[in-house]
Chains A and B, each alone.
Chain A
């Protein structure tokens, strides 16, 4: 009779799984997947736990009537053993959803699986008993076994990500954005979510870092292959717009932004040397790289990056040169000097911007006729303008003492002073 009751119990578990697992899979995947025979068969132990616990069974049925947000509440009621089942089932479902390109739901199920693993690992008694029951000859640490497997799973995503970003073929312009975004978010979540084991998070971080560095390598290959003199404008800008698109997806760390900055500044100088620095080429390159340089600049100010001040100022010179408004140019060169005090090109270009003020003041002085200085208000006005021009020229000199226009401007101011018959002491 004992044998018969065991056989009936096994049948009862199987029937419970047949009845519940397909509904769980349907609910968890929003009807996108059906439970396989293996899913159902491997969850018999899980179904038995529901059969034995009326309260849990009722919570399960309620969950199936609600939306997927109800999962967390149900999972909190589950034991480590139940969580072990959930982790495995949801991991499989997530992979199947990935294959069906249902990336948003795949991410959610990966998250559920990861949370369920956390629930399993949070009960050391469960994992220790599990380990003790395995009858091994060597000793194994649960953390290292689990950590190793998760890490190797995450490493497999590196290839997927490189392929999606078209890094494997080194061909730009063929990015599988959705897939690449999915993998990046998955790795980011592993890194961010505080999983109980450190190794997988570290692995996820390294995987992303490796992919980002590969992006720079691929950019380098593209640039090396370019014949800058002969290449079309589009061919010169394309690698940079590609890099921008790729980094928009995988994100740029400080190191990557620094690599991007170094390469772009070198490239821009190269373009200038070969006289390919037309606005139609330089502007798209600056547009594509500016967000990363801005991030890097902020990192410099936070002291999380250093040693790149000169490069940033170089870059800002190229940006400033393309601005149409003097006010904008001035602000950019001043910013460059603020980041890298003494930066020669920023100082030189800024001094020429300041020189515009002197020229403008001198034009106003030219408009005052010599005879009009007999009138006191005109004399006063002339004195004010002469003083203003001197101060403005001092500012030019202060910014860049080697500005070649300075002696001529000083001479012009002096000529006006003599023409208007005013002494320098009168201006004080």
Chain B
């Protein structure tokens, strides 16, 4: 049995022909030669006949999100990268940061308030 193109590409079965084309075009921009060929094959299978698209959609796994084409490693990198950037750039405070928009508002004791 051939693998379902919706599953192979991690596409939502709810996508219509136009959306499928848009998504696959976007992916093709960064794809290698073999990957691009696979994308074209899947695009043909899903867009040439509506009946075929409906059939594939029924026999595709329901999707929780549009990220199912990504591997766990890619998902991890994507989720962790902003945190890393945040830690490097934003969590090290400098006097300039305080002047722009302080991350932590701490009311430092004023000289006059000290005994």
Contact = CB atoms under 8 A, between A and B. Distances in A.
A148 B51 CA distance: 11
Given A4-B82, A8-B79, A138-B50, A42 B68 contact: yes
Interface stretch (B55-63, B91-99, B103-111): B55-63
Interface in A68-117: 81, 84-85, 88, 91-92, 95
Interface in A246-305: none
A146 B16 contact: no
A38 B65 contact: no
A15 B79 contact: no
Contact of B68 (A8, A44, A134): A44
A91 B65 CA distance: 23
A85 B61 contact: yes
A261 B75 CA distance: 67
B68 A38 contact: no
Interface string A1-20: 00010111111011100100
A41 B7 CA distance: 8
A136 interface: yes
B72 interface: yes
Contacts of A145: 54-55, 58
Contacts of A88: 4, 59-61
B3 to A, nearest CB: 6
Given A11-B76, A45-B63, A149 B14 contact: no
Contact of B62 (A7, A84, A135, A137): A84
A148 B58 CA distance: 12
Contacts of A85: 61-62
B78 interface: yes
Interface in B74-102: 75-76, 78-79, 82
Q: A-side binding surface: helix, strand, loop or mixed?
A: helix
A140 interface: yes
B48 interface: no
Interface string B1-14: 10110011010011
Given A7-B78, A10-B79, A145-B54, A134 B64 contact: no
Contact of B79 (A7, A81, A91): A7
A135 B14 contact: yes
A318 interface: no
A216 interface: no
A1 to B, nearest CB: 10
A134 B13 contact: yes
Interface in A28-67: 37-38, 41-46, 48
Most chain B CB neighbours (cut-off 10 Å) among A7, A45, A88:
A7
A37 B74 CA distance: 14
A84 B61 contact: yes
B67 interface: yes
Contact of A95 (B1, B64, B68): B1
B54 A140 contact: yes
Contacts of A92: 1
B58 to A, nearest CB: 5
Interface in B1-52: 1, 3-4, 7-8, 10, 13-16, 50-51
A311 to B, nearest CB: 45
A-B pairs with the 4 shortest C-beta distances? Answer: A45-B64, A42-B61, A135-B16, A10-B67
Interface of B: 1, 3-4, 7-8, 10, 13-16, 50-51, 53-55, 57-65, 67-72, 75-76, 78-79, 82
11 contacts: A38-B8, A42-B68, A48-B64, A88-B61, A130-B13, A134-B14, A136-B50, A136-B54, A138-B50, A145-B54, A149-B59
